[in-house]
Structure 1
């Protein structure tokens, strides 16, 4: 594995150094904290993370390389100029225009704040300016702050996820933002969180439209081949972050409750419908109105049994670091049925087309078997390596053999092999490897959140991944 340059081996940079560089280049100086009840991250209290363990070295290299590409050549090609109002041009209001820069912002804010940024092609000071531009523009263009229908985004099917990414990047970069930028960030996140608290035990928002389950309690399949697990998890993410950033907000209790509800619903299986278990105050048998995964831990998406969506529960496990950054315990609901799903990846045999069987994870190999095919492409090692790491750090592989740490090494070494093909830090070449237009951004945002989970689990002050 290539050595990181000296700057990137510093595990905690803090924001004072970045702020000085940004201000010197003409950006506004940081104002006093806006009156928005946000509790900034107390970095000194969290200790530091040397990153010397082998998993940490792998994730650090992935994060550093991905960030170098996203905040370097990708940003330069996408945002060559400022608009008259001082913001960058997002070029639209859809997923491509909003989610991608939000993911890039998380990657860059994490790398810069933790000292894992690699400045070999762009200085940290200039990377900080670009990161701030992404955060402040995304927040300002949200409908909570923007009345222009041509440029505003928000209040849509996936926008809670985009707001989560933007707000997470902003919280990490809090000391770099001025009062107006902070207020925009808060207004955006509160707007999306408030939408989600209007739902109930059947509907995501309000009393109609998108439901929480693929299959209802009575067996009716609402959305054939389309589990709601992923949507519930990403919506829960926005609620968790709002509650952690603003614990004294008058609606924080509602956000915490709705977060738990979505986590439980997202991972619900048929066995839960008759279970006497209560998780974070929710009795599964009486509250759940449907299911999203099978009792064997598999789930359906894109009209097939889809391993890539089985590992989308990474979004639930990220709540460990979100709460950990505030030195608080995350809800145990985030762990619901993770072991069940991971066992399906490692141990469950599936039929092969020519006879015999295979597990999804193939012993001793980074290769993934897709029992019903994969419509997204051919190369996704870090999607699985990221999930392996989270399962390992949260001890959700109990009784599963081989253990998650073994698979993390195999999958993330394969990810590093993909990245070694390119000098600019990106992962993918031919479109067929991964057909998603935000494929590089997905690598960056996963690496950032995996690194932050490592930071909280293995820092010098002790493990801060706690569950209540």
Structure 2
């Protein structure tokens, strides 16, 4: 375990960490009397910091807020406490922590941990019972600055750099979101690295026909082409499109004056629409964010009934992966802007398929995916990821409720959020360190605790915008 930076970096990090939360985060979760973000001019390559004072506050005292803040507080405490201490034991000669690789385990996991920790710290949700907020701030900053420094936009060492891969836009999104939330606690070098990283990944998604999710050769934008050809059987591209759109949405929100902002904004909407495209979208005259679906779309990723396939099965866990699209409400909201309506495309249809669509049971009869009156989930064709995922669904329920995408659906999403997130709290109650999972079979993903933390952070930020003291700041254009 280590909490202090090496002597060569202690002057900056120590001075900032000594501030801790006093004078930086007020009792209502608003950046307060210290150096305020609202007082800062845009810097770091044109980044406009979050103006927390203009956004107002959110106490998180309502029922859903209490549940989600409890999940976030526990998850952040575990990730930046025991997990960090066991994973990062020394600094490298350049003053960064050792990520111990360049793959998903080495990069995505700490990036998700940073989302949980930064959100908990800047909103006042952080629980300091086992690690002070000041030391948590130092650790979180270590994650952010190291991840950004190791991206290929800032790093020429082929052995330690990451970026330009199938999933790296998502890793960059997590890292840059954490950095944006922590902007006032980062030095100029870390800020410049964050900007270079995010711009590089965003530009990659808007240039070149051979780039993943862009062209018609190589990797695909759609599972099924409009002529009916199934290009990637049992493997919807919905999730990939949504996470790539996330990086574009964040780049456009953080750097609205950047020369690439218009390109990022347009491609963001295109990927959101492609993610949730269904066969019925290929005909008719629907236009969303200036994009005529019937003429722009070249294929589909979900069925007309709102279901989708992944891992060669109808997969509810990937249906709720549209949470990444709905998070755009808070991303643009933090910039005091409206999110593209494309993020809501076909969400209601997919949610209705979770709640209302009947599926046969092995012993006879039928049931929806959401078992009536229960937190139990029915997986019509099985679940290859494990047995316990209540927060995956409770997170999506909350987002659907806050964005009004459950109109006409009974029971409403708020009731399902209560059931699923109460089950999540029950899982967490088994442990004292804030984690969720025990036996490996409950969730076989090696980043299972980090995934909970990242979802909790983004859910809470959505609540912060939706139930803000200044009014609902989730807007769609």
When the two structures are superposed, what TM-score results if normalisation uses the length of structure 2? 0.92
1:108-187 aligned at under 5 Å gives the runs: 108-187=117-196
- Deviation, 1:359, is 0.5
- 2:102–2:161: 8 Å Cα contact kept in structure 1? yes
Aligned to 2:452: 443
Question: Structure 2: 5+ residue runs without aligned partners?
Answer: 1-20
What is aligned with 1:23?
none
Distance in 2 (CA, whole Å) between partners of 1:182 and 1:78 is 24
Following the alignment from structure 2 to structure 1, what is the Cα–Cα distance between the partners of residues 52 and 150? 29
**Does the CA contact (< 8 Å) of 1:314 and 1:390 recur in 2?**
yes
Shift of the alpha carbon at 1:10?
A: 3.4
Q: Following TM superposition, by how much is the alpha carbon of 1:15 offset from its aligned partner in structure 2, in angstroms? A: 7.4
SS at match of 1:249: coil
Summarize the Cα distance change of 1:149–1:16 in structure 2 as closer, same or farther, 3 Å threshold: farther
CA contact (8 A) 2:26 2:32 kept: no
1:204 positional shift: 1.2
Q: How many Å apart are 1:419 and its aligned residue?
A: 0.2
Maintained 8 Å contact 2:44/2:195: no
Seen in structure 2, the aligned counterparts of structure 1 residues 9 and 415 have a Cα distance that, compared at 3 Å, is farther
Q: Give structure 1 stretches of 5+ with no counterpart.
A: 1-5, 20-30
1:270 to 253, 271, 279: 279
- Summarize the alignment of residues 273-352 of structure 1 with structure 2, pairs less than 5 Å apart: 273-352=282-361
Distance 1:202 1:193 in 2: 12
Could you report, residue by residue, the CA deviation over 1:197-256 in whole angstroms, capped at 9, with x for unpaired residues? 026799613553211100000000000000000000000000000000000001100000
Whether contact under 8 Å (2:67, 2:421) holds in the other structure is yes
- Whole-angstrom distance in 1 between the partners of 2:165 and 2:78: 29
CA contact (8 A) 1:15 1:173 kept: no
Structure 1, residues 126-169: CA drift from partner, whole Å, max 9, x if none?
00000000000000000000000000000000000000000000
Q: Distance in 2 between matches of 1:146 and 1:160?
A: 17
User: Structure 1 pair 147/342, CA: closer, same or farther in 2 (3 Å)?
Assistant: same
Distance 1:184 1:11 in 2: 31
C-alpha distance in 2 between matches for 1:17 and 1:363: 49
2:214 aligns with 205
Query: In 1, are the aligned partners of 2:205 and 2:212 still within 8 Å (CA)?
Result: no
Q: RMSD between aligned alpha carbons? A: 1.9
Q: State the number of aligned residues.
A: 452
CA-to-aligned-CA distance 1:305-356 (integer Å, 9 cap, x gap): 0000000000000000000001100000000000000000000000111211
1:12 equivalenced with 2:29 (yes/no)? yes
Q: State how 1:381-396 maps to structure 2 within 5 Å.
A: 381-396=390-405
Alignment CA distance shift 1:85-1:51 (3 Å): same
Structure-1 separation of matches of 2:154 and 2:442:
38
Matched residues in 2 for 1:300 and 1:15: separation? 47
> How big is the shift at 1:109?
0.4
Q: Is the 2:118–2:140 contact (alpha carbons within 8 Å) kept by the matching residues of 1?
A: yes
